[in-house]
Amino acid sequence: MLKGIPKLISPELLKILMEMGHGDRIVIGDCDFPHASVARDSHLVRLDGHGACEVLDAILTLMPLDTYVDAPVTRMEMVPGDNVSTAIWDDFARIVERHQPGARIGHAERFAFYDLARRCYCVVATGETAAYANLILQKGVLAR
């Protein structure tokens, strides 16, 4: 074991986070996200027993967000006509703000989000059951 690494970060995910460079992106997908098909040309890490918020918190404990882009975090937008709670978006915002104050969260239409996700370095599958609990994080650099 190592000190300071959140327990839910698997050795595989830790290796991937270390491999990622500035501008690389990682997806956190909810339980309904098409993880395997989206990650066909990238890495897939399964953390099915964990929620999206705890995975986001653990990743941001280790990974800086990109300060050279307008929105280093992108969430999937709700499909017009859906009538579901998106309270988890407020939780995401609080976690992002705690780790990187001022970092902006953008959004992308569902199919545009899938297109962006297919170009990410890694997809993390969670067991999150909240609707529209899908995020893309863009890696930044350590403050110098």
Task: Count how many domains the chain has.
Answer: 1
What is residue 144's predicted lDDT score, i.e. its pLDDT? 63
Backbone φ/ψ region at 81: left (φ over 0), alpha (ψ -120 to 50), beta:
left
- Our answer to whether residue 68 is catalytic in this structure is no
**pLDDT digits 0-9 by tens, 129-144:** 999 999 999 999 987 6
Strands across the sheet containing 135-138: 43-47, 122-126, 25-29, 135-138, 73-76, 105-108
- Our answer to whether residue 22 is catalytic in this structure is yes
Name the active-site residue from 30, 35, 57, 66: 66
DSSP code of residue 47: E
Over residues 24-32, the mean pLDDT reads 98
Query: How would residue 9 be classed by pLDDT, with cut points 50, 70 and 90?
Result: very high
Query: What does DSSP say about strands 73-76 and 135-138: parallel, antiparallel, or unpaired?
Result: antiparallel
Average pLDDT of the chain to the nearest whole number: 96
Over residues 71-92, the mean pLDDT reads 96
Name the active-site residue from 22, 48, 68, 115: 22
Q: Can you name the residues that pair with 106 across neighbouring β-strands?
A: 74
What is residue 2's predicted lDDT score, i.e. its pLDDT? 81
Q: Could you give the CA distance from residue 116 to residue 38 in angstroms, rounded to a whole number?
A: 10
Hunting for tokens 């690494």 — which residue is that? 5
Tokens linked to 89: 């978006």
Question: What CATH number should be reported for the domain holding residue 45?
Answer: 3.40.1650.10
Report the sign of the C-alpha dihedral through residues 91, 52, 13, 76, in that order. negative
Name the active-site residue from 24, 50, 91, 114: 114
Residue 90 predicted with pLDDT over 70? yes
Query: What does DSSP say about strands 105-108 and 73-76: parallel, antiparallel, or unpaired?
Result: parallel
Query: Residue 13 domain-assigned?
Result: no
Query: Residue 70 domain-assigned?
Result: yes
Query: Residue 43 domain-assigned?
Result: yes
Query: Residue 144 domain-assigned?
Result: no
Range of the domain at 50: 19-138
Query: Residue 113 domain-assigned?
Result: yes
- Our answer to whether residue 66 is catalytic in this structure is yes
Query: Residue 4 domain-assigned?
Result: no
Query: Residue 122 domain-assigned?
Result: yes
